[in-house]
Structure 1
Amino acid sequence: MLAVAILAAGKGTRMKSDLPKVVHELGGRSLVKRVLDAATALSPKRRLIIVGYGQALVREALAAEPGLEFVEQAEQLGTGHAIQQLLEPLQGFTGDLVVLTGDTPLLTTQTIADLVATHRDRHAAATVLTALLPDPTGYGRVFCDRNNQIECIIEHRDCTDAQRQNQRVSAGVYCFKWPELAEILPKLSNNNDQKEYYLTEVFNYLSPVFAQDVEDYEESFGINSRVQLAHAYEVLQSRIRDKWMRLGVTMNLPDTITIDDTVELEPNVIIEPQTHLRGYTKIKSGSVIGPGSLIENSTIAENCRVLYATVEDSQIGAGCRVGPYTHISKESIVGDRCRVGNFVELKKTRMGENTNAAHLSYLGDATLGNRVNIGAGTVTANYDGFNKHPTVIGDRSKTGANSVLVAPIQIGKNVNIASGSVVTTNVEDNALAIARARETIKPDYYDEDGRKKVK
């Protein structure tokens, strides 16, 4: 059996924030959610979150996760004190306990699995995840024998010059035989400058204790400041971009592109510079996204071109052209082979196949049929100051430039709306709708200097 405990009780003063450190976001997910997701993939029997400072916000950040057990650390008196809070909830548990920190969001499921496997293969009382840092200055050094059994851990300030050449440090991630750890936890003392109970003191009593080196030392990075948060984002993005490029996605100037790790891309997608893909977005083969586009929680079908556009919570059909300077949002659905062009906004709108809105239009709460053409400057006036109202436009209908359709309204099939019309009533099929004042021309109205003549 396996249990996982995540330390999430600290404030994180160096973040300079009222938020608990672990609820700060990295790539669309909180730090603690990333750690939890990595651990949950191992299917542990128990998942315990140790909370303290700002615990309501931590609980809220994880509210969608079923089966979590929250354990309160009312006073934050060190990592050992935090794990002591598990003595009651884990009473009678006989399996292994993995201890993680909620501020190590780059840790992968594979690394945790390898730690547990090594721990069990070696029948260890405890196993410590360690990292070989290029520059371990300031970190305590972990010294092992040839079998990676830990002999001692020495703080940086107490190391000799020779000992400081050792690059192995603790990542603050552990696997314990819980019954043995539970027996030791009450023995921890706070005889130190901070008057805190350190979890590392248990290694004075447990044996054998082994080290497991993480393959990528950057996984061990903890987040204690905004600078470190930014660096973690760079590492995360590098991982994500490398993954997709290996799977057949082309990225031009990849360092300018950001992609959440919840995004799905198919081979032969091209991502142009300054493009950002967020949330649960899917881009299908043959599509070209960007430059300068933001796609969030949306699906882009095959062979689309999305240029300088924002698409949020919407679906774009195959073979569409979107942009430049287009905004599509609020669960809009665009059919196959459509054109949504320059400075066009769609909000909560459905477009049928082969329908075009090429220029300077706003379509809100609208349903458009197939082969509809929206003239430049067309607006669906969907809001009466209190409520939103729908507009329906039938197949093969056209609106002239600068048309306004005042909702609620239904425009039939094969209708032509004359340019400059303000239409307020339903229009039947096959009609021409003209709703504008008769043009008036007054000749000889001004003199040669442009002044109005006196009549």
Structure 2
Amino acid sequence: MVAVAILAAGRGTRMKSELPKVLHSLGGRSLIERILQTALEIEPIRQIVIVGYQGKQVEAALQHIPNVEFVEQTQQLGTGHAVQQLLPHLEGFQGDLLVLNGDVPLLRPQTLKVLMESHKKHQNAVSLLTAHLPNPKGYGRVFCNDRNIIQQIVEDRDCSAAQKQNHRINAGIYCFNWPQLAKVLPQLQANNDQKEYYLTDACNLMQPVMAVDVEDYQEILGINDRKQLATAYDILQGRVKERWMAAGVTLIDPNSITIDDTVQLSTDIIIEPQTHLRGNTAIGSGSRIGPGSLIENSQIGENVTVVYSVITDSTVQAETKIGPYSHLRGNVNAGKNCRIGNFVELKNTTLGDRTNVAHLSYLGDATLGERVNIGAGTITANYDGVKKHQTKIGDRTKTGSNSVLVAPVKLGSDVTVAAGSTVTEDVPDDSLVIARSPQVVKPGWRLKTSED
């Protein structure tokens, strides 16, 4: 059995932010959420997050994740000091403790499984994830014998010039035999330039300690500033795009496209340049998205076309065409074979199948039936200054250009609204409604000028 502890107490001063470092977003999820998600793959019996700087904010941000425990490190005196805080919480625990860093979000679950398997196979007191970096500056160096048994771990700031030539680094990911670790934690001393308690010193007090090299060193890259956050995002995007292209998705100009790893795609989708897919979005087979589109937390059906448009928190069913320059937001549900065209905004609105809103319209808090046709410039006046009100439109109803439907109002089925009408009362089925002032023409009239 294994327990997981995630070190998340630091402020992250180099981020230049009031937000705790571990809560910064990477591809739609915070750094700490990514670590927790990865740790779940090894099925730990306990998940403990060690918090410090703005710990309550970190706790609040993780409330949606079940079975997470929090331990406070009131003073940030190093990694060893952080793990010392677990002593009363893991009293009597006889399993292994996996220690992860909250700012190392690119770890793959398979890497942790390899680390755990090696730990059990060799019955190690400590198994340490290591990597060979092209540029190891800033990382502690790991020195091993020919069997990968660790003989010494030296922090970068404490390394001699000769020791800095070693490119095998400490990734800061440990698997400890907890009963053995619990015995040595009280022995740690802060005999270093930083006056901190290093977890690596605990490794020096335990035997055997084995290094397990990660195949892809990019997995263990930490995030300390905005530049490293951007680098991590590039790496994550590379993984995501490679996976989807291998699964049958066409990405035209992948460098201009971003896709969160929470997004689900089907085969034979074409993603055009300058398109961004975020959050809990799913797109059906045969759809063509972009160019220049943003889709966030939305469900898109099969064979949908979206061009130069923004869709958030909405559902679009099969065969519907959207754009250019449409905006769907706040719980829009567009039915099958709809047309939502140029400069149309929909908010909290439902469209029945084969309904068209072709251009220059705003529909808010509205429910439309099937085969409705909304003329250019039609709007629902849904807000009275205090409350939002509903508009309901029946099947096969048509509105003329520049119509205003003042909510709350209900139009029945097979209604025709004359162009330029302002409709303020309900309209029964099979009706023509004309709600506009009579046209007045005054022959021979013209505007007087100063000469006159």
Same fold, judged at TM 0.5 (above): yes
Q: 2:369 matched to which residue of 1? A: 369
CA displacement at 1:137 relative to structure 2? 2.9
**SS at structure 2 position matched to 1:34:** helix
C-alpha root-mean-square deviation of aligned residues, in Å?
1.5
Number of aligned residue pairs: give it.
452
CA displacement at 1:138 relative to structure 2? 3.7
CA distance in 1, matches of 2:289, 2:450: 54
CA displacement at 1:139 relative to structure 2? 2.8
Q: 2:242 matched to which residue of 1? A: 242
CA distance in 1, matches of 2:155, 2:95: 31
Q: 2:37 matched to which residue of 1? A: 37
**SS at structure 1 position matched to 2:100:** strand
**SS at structure 1 position matched to 2:48:** strand
2:312 counterpart letter in structure 1: E
Deviations for 1:80-99, whole angstroms, at most 9, x for unmatched residues?
Answer: 00000001000000000000
Pairing of 1:443-454 with structure 2 (within 5 A) = 443-446=443-446, 451=449
Pairing of 1:36-185 with structure 2 (within 5 A) = 36-156=36-156, 163-185=163-185
2:110 counterpart letter in structure 1: Q
**SS at structure 1 position matched to 2:196:** coil
**SS at structure 2 position matched to 1:110:** helix
Contact 1:367 1:392 in 2 (8 A): yes
Deviations for 1:136-192, whole angstroms, at most 9, x for unmatched residues?
Answer: 234332122222111222444665666544321010010000000000100000111
2:132 counterpart letter in structure 1: L
CA distance in 1, matches of 2:382, 2:287: 32
Contact 1:369 1:393 in 2 (8 A): yes
TM-score where L is the length of structure 1: 0.97
Residues 210 and 261 (structure 1 numbering): CA distance in 2 closer, same or farther, change over 3 Å?
Answer: same
Deviations for 1:211-243, whole angstroms, at most 9, x for unmatched residues?
Answer: 111111011011100111111111111111111
CA displacement at 1:114 relative to structure 2? 1.1
CA distance in 2, matches of 1:287, 1:179: 55
Unaligned runs of 5+ in 1: none
Identity of aligned residues (%): 59
1:244 counterpart letter in structure 2: W
Unaligned runs of 5+ in 2: none
**SS at structure 1 position matched to 2:3:** strand
Q: Bigger shift: 297-306 or 154-163?
A: 154-163
Is 2:308 aligned against 1:308?
yes
CA distance in 1, matches of 2:67, 2:163: 45
Residues 53 and 291 (structure 1 numbering): CA distance in 2 closer, same or farther, change over 3 Å?
Answer: same
CA distance in 2, matches of 1:157, 1:436: 80
CA distance in 2, matches of 1:453, 1:432: 48
Pairing of 1:200-349 with structure 2 (within 5 A) = 200-349=200-349
Residues 323 and 293 (structure 1 numbering): CA distance in 2 closer, same or farther, change over 3 Å?
Answer: same
CA distance in 2, matches of 1:190, 1:149: 25
**SS at structure 2 position matched to 1:50:** strand
Contact 1:358 1:376 in 2 (8 A): yes
CA displacement at 1:334 relative to structure 2? 0.4
1:24 counterpart letter in structure 2: H
1:186 counterpart letter in structure 2: P
